[in-house]
Amino acid sequence: MTTLPRFIRKPQIHTMTVWQYGLIALWALAMITLPIGRWVAGDAIIPGWTTMAAILQSAAAFSVLVAAWGWHRAIRTFFIIALIGWAAEFVGHQTGFPFGHYTYTDVLHPQIGGVPLLIPIAWFMLMPSAWAMAQCIIPDRTTLKSRLAFVGVSALALTVWDLFLDPQMVGWGFWEWAQPGIYFGIPLQNYAGWFAVSALITLVAQPQDLPIPSLALIYGLVWFLQMVGLGVFWGQIGPALVGSVAMGSILLAAYYRKRNAP
């Protein structure tokens, strides 16, 4: 029997399990209750609570990939993202390339080579969802131009998340910039670095057959929770507005392209 090329096979339909819904619900609950926990116990709970939320979000994303791809491919993808993410952060905080000059504080532990273990996990948290957004926007990857466009949109979809994230994490004292930049204290070089590292991860991982609905749900929840969290509870109105427009534009473009796909 002749095997059809990957790009013309009938798309697989991925349905979410109770476990996946449960992990996503626990992660969302952790994010929602963080302001309450801080109000009750003070700022000291923020690092541990943030770590818990990041692990839950990563577990939710990983469970989605396992269900769609199987354990081997999901584990391989996790290590590609985590190792490249850690290496970029290690080089970054040592040399200033590619993000700019910054240092991690002692708030987040444990650390490997001066990089908190949470950081490579954080690179994994949303990278697959960024791929899902790019797959909706660039559904056909049969040409070199379209494959490069997929890489670029994937990198952009992840980078715009940091419009929320970096001001928030700096505000919580997780890391410090040597020279505060023009974007709410964040240097613009940081975002060029995010784009470059995200593009490299995508080129190496070569994601295919993405479970779009599940990953899109995670991306949409991150957008909503970050927008409300920064804008309402953390007093960072500027990053909340910019991040909501940027991530919201990616979501809107993905929805429009998916809805109007043949």
The pLDDT tens digits for 185-197 are 999 999 999 999 9
> What's the pLDDT score for residue 17?
78
Please tell me the distance from the alpha carbon of residue 59 to that of residue 134, in angstroms, as a whole number.
Answer: 22
Domain chopping of the chain, boundaries: 70-259
* pLDDT tens digit sequence for 38-95: 888 888 999 999 999 999 999 999 999 999 999 999 999 999 999 999 999 999 999 9
> What's the pLDDT score for residue 14?
58
Q: What is the DSSP letter of 230?
A: I
Q: Is residue 221 within 8 Å of 251, Cβ to Cβ?
A: no
* pLDDT tens digit sequence for 119-129: 999 999 999 99
Q: What is the DSSP letter of 232?
A: I
Q: Say which residues have a Cβ less than 8 Å from residue 243's Cβ, sequence separation at least 6.
A: 160, 161, 163, 164, 223, 226, 227, 230
Instruction: Supply angle C-alpha 68, 127, 155, rounded to 5.
Output: 130
Element (H, E) at 78: helix 71-95
* pLDDT tens digit sequence for 139-187: 999 999 999 999 999 999 999 999 999 999 999 999 999 999 999 999 9
Q: What is the DSSP letter of 117?
A: T
> What's the pLDDT score for residue 203?
98
* pLDDT tens digit sequence for 10-34: 444 556 678 888 899 999 999 999 9
Please tell me the distance from the alpha carbon of residue 56 to that of residue 166, in angstroms, as a whole number.
Answer: 20
Q: Which one, of 76, 84, 61, lies nearest residue 201 by Cα?
A: 84
Report CA-CA distances (Å) from 84 to 80, 91, 104.
6, 11, 18
pTM for the full predicted model = 0.92
